[in-house]
Amino acid sequence: MKILVTGFDPFGGEKINPAYEIIKRLSDLIDGAEIIKLQVPTVFNKSIKVVTQKIAEEKPDVVLCLGQAGGRYTVTVERVAINIDDARIPDNENNQPIDSLIDPDGEPAYFSTIPIKKIVNAMKMNKIPAEISNTAGTFVCNHLLYGVLNYIYKNKLNTKAGFIHIPFLPEQVVDKPNTPSMDLNILVNAINVAIKTIVEEDK
């Protein structure tokens, strides 16, 4: 089994992105599954292109995308991606689409195809604060999840895909009063648990 795990580069004035910090610390083999790691630019369109090219190259069984959701208290497993870009801030190449369709010929939305409830339950069993999220936002995170699921759907691939949002790291909130954060070791453990749950589901 082959799992492609993606994480964005830093954006929005941050020096690090916890999503990519997690990826750097994952083993190359988790429960017998080969882990392919990919850093993704926080850029509309380019992010989808980078990941779908890697899907075409590697033909993974699962694509698990990770992204930072500053302000969230828990690790959140996304349920759905919607066909809209509505950027509150510019991306890393200064694009700021407002009320734009990601794919004019695409479905209005796609549901994640990883076992979201089992992943959340497994994280909680491991004493990690986690929950399901019903919105991945309208920035590059939702954009990428939609793009990946759209690519899988249109190419009739037997590939599962999902997205997990990560809170800030403690060092990111030093100057952000009353903003939640989570330790990197806990976050790495959370993603290990998620991957193990995905592998188990596929057996």
As annotated, the active-site residues are 78, 141, 165
The single-letter DSSP state of residue 176 is S
Contact between 199 and 32 under an 8 Å Cβ cutoff? The reply is yes
Distance of CA 94 to the CA centre of its chain: 21
Q: How far apart are CA 36 and CA 49, in angstroms?
A: 17
Distance of CA 122 to the CA centre of its chain: 18
Q: How many CB atoms lie within 10 A of CB 59?
A: 12
Residue 153 three-state SS: helix
Q: How far apart are CA 95 and CA 80, in angstroms?
A: 23
Contact between 167 and 75 under an 8 Å Cβ cutoff? The reply is yes
Q: Which residues pair with 37 in a beta bridge?
A: 5
Q: Which residues pair with 166 in a beta bridge?
A: 68
